[in-house]
Chains A and B, each alone.
Chain A
């Protein structure tokens, strides 16, 4: 109801109608702007300005160890980063971790969502424990995985590979990073999917099963189409989130054996290298990569961004 009211209220923004704005409307607009101003200001000050500043820095030669040599160098930093094999290795690692972990999370998350939504017993318990991976500090969970996979001390290392240090080998280390990432984020994925699951009408499922649809058919032909918007939003959120992976890698391998993500590279460049020019260039490149991912999701797959009016029309 309130949506239709909002929509009609939104329409008379054309200039002639503006004159007719009543005193009450004016007061409402003013209050609205004032209420939003502090939040908007903080967000602009801490993200908008720095990203512009970062673009400016990325065009400079600026190394804190040699501050006198700061000068404008145009796109030189971009050439340096983009022709660097370490950057592309990190980019490949990040992309691979993102794709594999999000794919596994979608499957497990859907399973967990179905369990949380439909289980006949212990529903409260399942929902409660499922929130633990979501809430736990990523660094804490990462340490738990690290100790579990450390040779000699860990239960998992003893179980699967008692004689080799898995975290010091590239492929097993990447697999463990993905495991840690998946464990932590499946519940979040499941919660987003569960919200979509709640939109599937029970009648529709009953009708389908009357018509002789198997459980799998009901899932693919009835539930998935209804849940599609929720699935896309969950995928969008998790893809962008996975792309910025940092904590797990930092604790598990510190990026050794070429397991570092682009976030690790940027951090190392800043804290160890103190090279602000190159660091900012990486920042801008990551920002562009994320923007491209978001654009693909929204334009190509038609993901309706949550909070936008399109998303609410459902």
Chain B
């Protein structure tokens, strides 16, 4: 019996290993293809080969020598970071209140955030375009940061309130008994305990802001606030008649690097954040 069990399990292991390899290929092939394109020389770009026949860094040199890409990269980083910080701070405050405090309008806020999470962003593009033109926010950093915060907030509130429900709240009571006000209990006791959840949320929010294309392309008109995803679609080669495939691929690889790093280092946190926020919520 034991022997049968052992062989079955090693057979099962091989079977799982094969299935795992299918998943790995599924996830990686499109990424490797764009990486491969970015390293190909102009002559071999069209050979359709998965592994470049001759390697070059020229595409990377090209994009880092254009102010267009550097400016877009700066915009992407700046806008995503600022939006993430603000969304996480506001989300933390709201999620704490939702998870811990009893106040009127709580269900309304939860319902409203859910509504926004499902909101068709394109419905906002036309009115925001007109409002931002009137307010002078069109084609500026705040003009993108504001919608990013708005659409990141539901994600932040759900993920964070799920994390906050797991925190041992007796500690807060103990702090209050020692004379701390609710605000002090929040700042001194709960905030440090909540830090891992806040960090996870920050990663998810950053990925969301980093990914956006619709707002980035609709609410900007020049390089002054255009982010990389939007700038990519305006890329041309160094001359008008040159095929931009290589440079677009190189730029695409550059903005994929942070995502790959997040995934490699924080896989557990991201999985925990996405699953807890969305379903147990």
Question: Which residues of A come within 8 Å of B, CB atoms?
Answer: 2, 6, 9-10, 13, 25, 27-33, 35-36, 38-40, 42-43, 45-47, 50-51, 53-54, 57, 112, 115, 118-122, 124-141, 143-145, 147-148, 152-155, 157-158, 183, 187-188, 191-192, 194-196, 198, 229-230, 233-234, 236-237, 240, 243-244, 246-247, 250-251, 262-263, 266-267, 269-271, 276, 279-280, 282-284, 286-287, 289-290, 294, 305-309, 311-312
- Please give me the residue from chain B that is nearest to A50 by CB atom: B127
Residues A47 and B107 in contact in the complex (CB < 8 Å), given A132-B27, A139-B232, A307-B113: no
Leading 5 A-B pairs by shortest Cβ distance? A32-B103, A306-B281, A195-B275, A50-B127, A32-B101
- Please give me the residue from chain A that is nearest to B19 by CB atom: A115
Chain A residue numbers with a CB within 8 Å of B189 are none
Question: Which residues of B come within 8 Å of A, CB atoms?
Answer: 9, 12-13, 16-17, 19-20, 23-24, 26-28, 30-31, 33-34, 37, 45-50, 90-91, 93-94, 96-98, 101-107, 109-114, 116-131, 146-147, 149-150, 153-154, 157-158, 161, 165, 169, 182-183, 207, 210-211, 213-214, 217-218, 228-229, 232-233, 245, 248-249, 252, 255-256, 259-260, 262-264, 267-268, 270-271, 274-281
The answer on a CB contact under 8 Å between B24 and A125 is yes
Q: State the CA gap A141–B12 with chains docked (Å).
A: 33
The answer on a CB contact under 8 Å between B102 and A32 is yes
Give, as a whole number of angstroms, the nearest-CB distance from A87 to chain B: 14
- Please give me the residue from chain B that is nearest to A308 by CB atom: B110
Give, as a whole number of angstroms, the nearest-CB distance from B182 to chain A: 5
Chain A residue numbers with a CB within 8 Å of B182 are 27-28, 31
Give, as a whole number of angstroms, the nearest-CB distance from B98 to chain A: 7
What is the interface of chain A mostly: helix, strand, loop, or mixed?
A: helix
Please tell me which one of the listed residues A157, A247, A306 contacts residue B278 in the complex, with CB atoms under 8 A apart.
Answer: A306
- Please give me the residue from chain B that is nearest to A41 by CB atom: B90
- Please give me the residue from chain A that is nearest to B133 by CB atom: A64
Q: State the CA gap A187–B30 with chains docked (Å).
A: 15
The answer on a CB contact under 8 Å between A286 and B122 is yes
How many A-B residue contacts, CB cutoff 8 Å?
331
The answer on a CB contact under 8 Å between A246 and B214 is yes
- Residue with the greatest number of chain B CB neighbours at <10 A, chosen from A53, A139, A244, A283: A139
Can you sample 23 A-B contacts with CB below 8 Å? Answer: A6-B102, A29-B104, A38-B90, A38-B93, A39-B157, A40-B112, A42-B150, A115-B19, A124-B267, A126-B23, A132-B260, A139-B213, A139-B233, A139-B252, A144-B34, A233-B278, A247-B229, A262-B122, A271-B218, A284-B123, A306-B158, A306-B278, A311-B281
Chain B residue numbers with a CB within 8 Å of A133 are 27, 30
Chain B residue numbers with a CB within 8 Å of A40 are 94, 109, 112
- Please give me the residue from chain B that is nearest to A236 by CB atom: B118
Give, as a whole number of angstroms, the nearest-CB distance from A191 to chain B: 5
The answer on a CB contact under 8 Å between B120 and A286 is yes
Q: State the CA gap A274–B119 with chains docked (Å).
A: 23
- Please give me the residue from chain A that is nearest to B230 by CB atom: A139
The answer on a CB contact under 8 Å between B48 and A50 is no
Q: State the CA gap A35–B19 with chains docked (Å).
A: 47
The answer on a CB contact under 8 Å between A250 and B213 is yes
Chain B residue numbers with a CB within 8 Å of A229 are 279
Please tell me which one of the listed residues A35, A153, A283 contacts residue B122 in the complex, with CB atoms under 8 A apart.
Answer: A283
Please tell me which one of the listed residues A29, A126, A192 contacts residue B279 in the complex, with CB atoms under 8 A apart.
Answer: A192
The answer on a CB contact under 8 Å between B50 and A36 is no
Chain B residue numbers with a CB within 8 Å of A289 are 120
The answer on a CB contact under 8 Å between A121 and B17 is yes
The answer on a CB contact under 8 Å between B122 and A132 is no
Q: State the CA gap A311–B182 with chains docked (Å).
A: 28
Give, as a whole number of angstroms, the nearest-CB distance from B58 to chain A: 17
